[in-house]
Structure 1
Amino acid sequence: MSTPPTHALRDNLTMLRRNLLHARRYPSLTLNLLLTPVMLLLLFVYVFGDVMSAGIDGGGPDRAEYLAYLLPGILLMTVGGTALGIAVSVAMDMTEGIIARFRTMAISRSSVLTGHVLGSVIQTLGALVLVLALGFALGFRSGATPVEWLAATGLLALFSLAVTWIAVGIGLASPNAEGAGNIGMPLVLLPMLGSAFVPVEAMPGWFRWFAEYQPFTPVIETLRGLLSGTGIGTTNAVLALGWSLGLVVLGYAWSRALFTREPRR
């Protein structure tokens, strides 16, 4: 039996409210995941900033310039870290029997996943604002126009949606919360294996191909161009949008298939 659109919307909002309340009542996981990009931002700006900036531009140390280079990668690590928390949260719901109970209730089945996804995207955008505010406090200055800021915001929201759907699939496929945390670690590590800290041109040839074309690097490079106001390359923009849309479709299809399958007996 199909669910009327008005009931489906109500169910989606109810599940969204549930997940936001859950995040407010148990903030430790979100705070722990948020501390990682914050600490990395402080570490690379104040400890490694002079050395890294001199190595990148070939000139004298310029901590402010390196901060502008570093910030997009830290923003993407924040996206991955928040999504990792959602993977753990979904796995907890699965192992504690909440999902099984929702299956028996007269609610839109998709609302259970939609509530997790929308709640995660809202939390991610909030975390991104905090990290960006810290960047400005440390001396980051953007040359972006309002249109470029709008484009950067849209790209971050779209990529957050994509990574969140992948994280939901990880949570559904994991045997427990610990497993979800371990399986989902690439969501945090992949920006480090891209151009978050150094240009891919500085990497050895055998690793450069992976670093250049993995999902996070073109998004980082596109954000870097948008936030600095220096323009974006067509290749990076196309790859960023392609990876984002592709991961949304893949993550949704995977999560939907895992959620609708019959539970094991």
Structure 2
Amino acid sequence: MSTHAHALRDSMTMLRRNLTRARRYPSLTLQVVAMPIVMLLLFVFVFGGALGNGIGLPGAATDRGAYVDYVTPGIILMAVTSGAISTAVSVSLDMTEGIINRFRTMAISRASVLTGHVVGSVIQTMVSLVLVVAVALAVGFRPHATPAGWLAALGLLTLLAFALTWLAAAMGMVARTVESASNAPMPLTFLPFLGSAVVTPDSMPAGLRWFAEYQPFTPVNETLRGLLLGTGTGNNGPIAVAWGVGLSLAGYLWARSAFRRGGTR
């Protein structure tokens, strides 16, 4: 059997291990899914009228439907970023319990250990997206995407989940405690709110508006919104893909380097 075949086999074994653990201990996954749903309900039913009216959506003061369409892509994006928390915690648990050190002594592919975590977390994130979209549809989200638009949106979300999961895996490797690992990805979770997730950057103060326009999640959010609502993506699409590829590469290199050094322990 070739080296690549061994690596693939070991990665599949690690993937099954992580999916089995997620099924046996679903509390963290449920918490990660619950937060975007709670935020969706909060922004739609509590702040939806005021925020929709503030950014000039027609009829937002009396009908929240327009704001539901506006905010849902941002909440979907938040669901992807929330998945990074479970990855960081899972990797940190393995480091704390010494499991990764045991894997180092075994005749398995080194790459398979983190690959199993990353692929397993991406699968869990995509499952959570189904639940978030289902709730969004129940509260009035009405997308106008074509089948090609849905496929493009799925591809973009998968790329982003892949990128953030590698970053989270690196954070879990270097974190000294499980608690610090759970806190490290939190800025990623709330960064979309400093973009165009809930209001337009035009409504922000000058300094914050500049940050909102040039941070990575704004082009991703605008691309997702354009794909789902059928309004077009402009030049946001290539920028979003470039950010996804760049973050994937940065996260992978960081995680690989941390794994070779054995984290910080």
Normalising by structure 2, report the TM-score.
0.96
Deviation for aligned residue 1:136:
1.0
Is 1:121 the counterpart of 2:122 in the alignment? yes
Alpha-carbon shift at residue 123 of structure 1 (Å):
0.3
| Structure 2 portions without partners, runs of 5+ | none
Summarize the alignment of residues 184-195 of structure 1 with structure 2, pairs less than 5 Å apart. 184-195=185-196
Pairwise CA distance, 1:217:
1.1
- Confirm whether residue 26 of structure 1 aligns to residue 25 of structure 2: yes
Letter in 1 for 2:24: R
Q: Residues 84 and 187 of structure 1 are in contact (CA less than 8 Å); yes or no, is this contact kept in structure 2? A: no
Distance in 2 between residues matched to 1:134 and 1:93, nearest whole Å: 33
Match of 2:168 in 1: 167
Q: Could you tell me which amino acid in structure 1 is paired with residue 68 of structure 2?
A: L
Counterpart of 1:17? Answer: 16
**Most deviating of 108-117 and 203-212:** 203-212
Superposition deviation, residue 59 in structure 1: 3.9
Q: Which amino acid aligns with 1:191?
A: P
One-letter amino acid of the structure 2 residue matched with residue 194 of structure 1: G
Partner of 1:250: 250
Mean alpha-carbon deviation: is it higher for 39-48 or for 245-254? Answer: 39-48
In structure 1, what residue type is equivalent to 2:78? M
Mapping for residues 93-112 of structure 1, pairs under 5 Å: 93-112=94-113
Correspondence 1:239 to 2:239:
yes
Cα drift, residue 239 of structure 1: 1.7
1:200-236 deviation line (CA, Å, top 9, x unaligned): 11111111111111111110110000000011111x1
Match status 1:91 vs 2:117: no
Equivalent residue runs for 1:1-16 within 5 Å: 4-16=3-15
Paired letter, 2:253: A
Q: Does 1:178 align with 2:179?
A: yes
* Equivalent-residue separation in structure 2 for 1:131 and 1:93 (angstroms): 29
Identity value in percent? 58
**2:217 counterpart residue number:** 216
Q: 1:103 to 1:67 in 2, by over 3 A?
A: same
Letter in 1 for 2:12: L
- Deviation, 1:263, is 6.6
Partner of 1:130: 131
**Distance in 2 of aligned mates of 1:250 and 1:92:** 23
**Residues 73, 197 of structure 2: 8 Å contact kept:** yes
Using the TM superposition, give the Cα deviation of residue 74 of structure 1 relative to its aligned residue in structure 2, in angstroms. 0.5
1:190 match: secondary structure: helix
CA distance in 1, matches of 2:154, 2:57: 31
CA-to-aligned-CA distance 1:50-106 (integer Å, 9 cap, x gap): 111111125432311101110111111111111111101111111110110000000
User: For residues 9 and 165 of structure 2, what CA distance do their matches in structure 1 show?
Assistant: 22
Offset from partner CA, 1:96-147 (integer Å, 9 cap, x none): 1011000000000000000000000000000011101111111111111111
Count of equivalent residues: 263
Normalising by structure 1, we get a TM-score of 0.96
Misfit runs of 4+, over 6 Å: none
Q: Secondary structure at the match of 2:219?
A: helix
* CA-CA distance at 1:262 after TM superposition: 5.0
